[in-house]
Structure 1
Amino acid sequence: MAPYDRRTGGSPRPLKAGDTWWYAAVAGEAADSFSTRVRARTRRACLGAVLLLTLVYAGLVLTATGRRWSDAAVTGRRADTRVAELVRDHPSLAGAATLSLVLACLVLVGTGLVRRRYALTGAAAGTVAVSLALAGLLQRYAPRPPADGTAGALAPSGFPSVPATLAFGTAFALTVLVPRRSRGLAVGAATLWAVALGAYSVAAGDHRPGDVISAALLALAVQCGLIALLARRGRVRPGTRRGTTLRGLPATLPLALLAAGGLVAGFLLLGDTLGLPATAPYDPGELRLAHRCGQALAAGAGAAAGLVLLALVRHVDLDGGPASYRLGGPFVEDSGAPEQGELVGPFTENRDHEIS
């Protein structure tokens, strides 16, 4: 038996000129195979999320203008009377936010266990753990300019936000556990919850808008990496193209409106809030505008991250193994393959198919 035969645990060899088409199909290495296309686009999405995360870090953490805008967005919560009254009159929101994170983790694990998807449950929980570990490493080791002592009672930089990372990571991890027909509704609703949780952390002054944006991008990058790995192992297959869009519309439509409205409003307000003076005193109106700009950008970026993930797996079935191969034509008939209707592989019935 040749060392490349996968029945004996051999490693796949690179494709060369003259290789048969069925070997490339079974190996999942054909340039136009479904697994290859899914792996390519999720890998590009992962790299794009990492690039955007780097740009957010460089713009809002390393530059003086970005730090000044972030501090103004946090300070502006006091100038925004509606936000200040909401946080002051409802102190139980902090406990509710923490409880919702715990319940979300239980729902994530429970969904996989009830559906008996034990391997995917471990993979989904692993993505959440990896996201949290990366967030902790970035908070601890990412270089930051020293504090100048003029920020007052502002919270220290928490780039990226750990609670927001946990929220978005849990929401995005549902992608591989929820059935495809309910994926849009479940992931969309969970993303809306994560966006609301991030908005509360900014309103409470616990985190800056850039911390929430970076958390969504980090969770997106890790989840795209998992889907690319599943595609690399051939664990994806095409899904039906009917009946899924309308089921998820109650969640995806508000998510799309939030993404478009938040990003457009945030970028329009950003030009009016970047010209803050380098030293106090600040105009309360400018601080309030900076806070609303930060909230809009954080909400829009989080919603957009969820929409990108749903778009990447729109026609991808992650619930099960790869599709079985079925051959037809004179080659199969002459080789003595089983009758039509039975699932067959690319080889003859007697399995005498040493690959050299």
Structure 2
Amino acid sequence: MITAILVFTGIYLFFVRTLAGQTMDQLAFDGAEFGRRSVTPLAQQLLDALPLVSVVAGLVLAGIVTAVRRNGKTLIVAFGAALAAVLTTQLLKGGLLSRPDLGVEGYDGNSFPSGHTTVAAASALAIFLVASPRTRWLAALGGSGFAIAAGVATLANGWHRPSDVIAALLVVAVWGCVAGLVLTRGPWASTAARGGSAGVGGRVQLRILVPFAVVAAAAFLVTYFRAFGETPGPLIAYIGGVTAIVAAGLGVAFAGTRLFSRLP
């Protein structure tokens, strides 16, 4: 949890509060024009349906899993964490955090973190928490895929910058850690048998994660050193932004799988 908070803070301070960070984020936003021409209709449909689909899918799937496993306390904690994540994002974006105007072309006020991505990731978190230990890695992988798709859609459709999306994933990760603590300590702790292994699931997630992380890091370096040059390369920045979103989503899923593999 502390790591997620520190990373969130670092992303905010660099990509929102500094000229270099804002420039890089805006380059990725501008580079989305290359993909926007072909994916906008699909991205728009996804974004329009996302809040309702996320809430309904989260309620139905989490309810079914809870009914099968007969663990209502976990469902209450899961929904509480999901709701807290959504409210936290709205508070942060609506008043607690600000984006200074540093003269970067395309400045359009604060959009950090992404609300749509938070809703999608929070719904995935609820399902992840109520899942059984042996299937939790699958819930993490599928849920992260759903959240990633939502985040990339907001970028492709010109709603959010990459840092907004990654920050939203980290907000949900923090509340996922809080939920994990509640479920393992105190009166809410489950007495069910512990079990499950993150071995196979973790390896699958890691094999998918590493290539995206490498591409994201390379694109970041290229964009950083060319951000103020004559050829800034918005397409490279856009590719870096997309792969960074994918890597962040998979990274959160991997960390959750490993940290909560022994959750009751």
TM-score (norm 1): 0.66
> Higher relative contact order at CA 8 Å, sep ≥6: structure 1 or structure 2?
2
How far the C-alpha of 1:121 sits from its partner, in A, is 1.2
Query: Is 2:93–2:113's contact at 8 Å kept on the other side of the alignment?
Result: yes
Which whole-Å CA distance do the structure 1 matches of 2:246 and 2:193 have between them?
A: 32
State the match for 2:238 in structure 1.
291
Query: Aligned ranges for residues 166-181 of structure 1 at < 5 Å?
Result: 166-181=119-134
How far the C-alpha of 1:149 sits from its partner, in A, is 6.9
State the match for 2:71 in structure 1.
117
Query: Aligned ranges for residues 89-168 of structure 1 at < 5 Å?
Result: 91-111=44-64, 113-115=66-68, 116-147=70-101, 151-152=105-106, 156-168=109-121
Q: CA, structure 1 residues 88+109, in 2 after alignment: closer, same or farther (shift >3 Å)?
A: closer
Unaligned runs of 5+ in 2: none
Query: Is 1:259–1:304's contact at 8 Å kept on the other side of the alignment?
Result: yes
Query: Is 1:237–1:317's contact at 8 Å kept on the other side of the alignment?
Result: no
Counterpart of 1:262 (choices 197, 212, 220) is 212
Deviating more after overlay: 132-141 vs 100-109: 100-109
Q: CA, structure 1 residues 300+104, in 2 after alignment: closer, same or farther (shift >3 Å)?
A: same
How far the C-alpha of 1:206 sits from its partner, in A, is 0.7
Deviating more after overlay: 141-150 vs 177-186: 141-150
Query: Is 1:135–1:165's contact at 8 Å kept on the other side of the alignment?
Result: yes
Q: Deviations over 1:231-268 (max 9, x none)?
A: 222436663456x755x58xx72x43332122111111
Which whole-Å CA distance do the structure 1 matches of 2:71 and 2:192 have between them?
A: 16
Compute the RMSD of aligned alpha carbons: 2.6
Q: Deviations over 1:309-354 (max 9, x none)?
A: 100122x142xxxxxxxxxxxxxxxxxxxxxxxxxxxxxxxxxxxx
State the match for 1:31 in structure 2.
none
Q: Which structure has the larger Rg over C-alpha atoms?
A: 1
SS at match of 1:181: coil
Unaligned runs of 5+ in 1: 1-45, 319-356
Which whole-Å CA distance do the structure 1 matches of 2:83 and 2:29 have between them?
A: 28
Q: Deviations over 1:199-231 (max 9, x none)?
A: 111111111111111111111111111211222
Which whole-Å CA distance do the structure 2 matches of 1:304 and 1:53 have between them?
A: 14
- Kindly indicate whether residue 255 of structure 2 is the aligned counterpart of residue 308 of structure 1: yes
Query: Aligned ranges for residues 227-238 of structure 1 at < 5 Å?
Result: 227-233=180-186, 234-235=189-190
Which whole-Å CA distance do the structure 2 matches of 1:131 and 1:57 have between them?
A: 17
Q: How many residues align?
A: 260
Q: Deviations over 1:268-308 (max 9, x none)?
A: 11111123228xxx74x701111111111111011101110
Give the counterpart letter for 2:96 in structure 1: A
State the match for 1:58 in structure 2.
13
Deviating more after overlay: 186-195 vs 127-136: 186-195
Q: Deviations over 1:136-163 (max 9, x none)?
A: 11112334343367634x6543111111
Query: Is 1:108–1:170's contact at 8 Å kept on the other side of the alignment?
Result: no
Which whole-Å CA distance do the structure 2 matches of 1:172 and 1:83 have between them?
A: 29
Give the counterpart letter for 1:192 in structure 2: G
State the match for 1:200 in structure 2.
153
Which whole-Å CA distance do the structure 2 matches of 1:111 and 1:217 have between them?
A: 27
Which whole-Å CA distance do the structure 2 matches of 1:313 and 1:90 have between them?
A: 32
Higher helix share: 2
How far the C-alpha of 1:83 sits from its partner, in A, is 4.3
State the match for 1:77 in structure 2.
32
Query: Is 2:84–2:175's contact at 8 Å kept on the other side of the alignment?
Result: yes
Give the counterpart letter for 1:298 in structure 2: I
Alignment identity in percent?
A: 23
Which whole-Å CA distance do the structure 2 matches of 1:88 and 1:175 have between them?
A: 30
Give the counterpart letter for 2:29 in structure 1: V
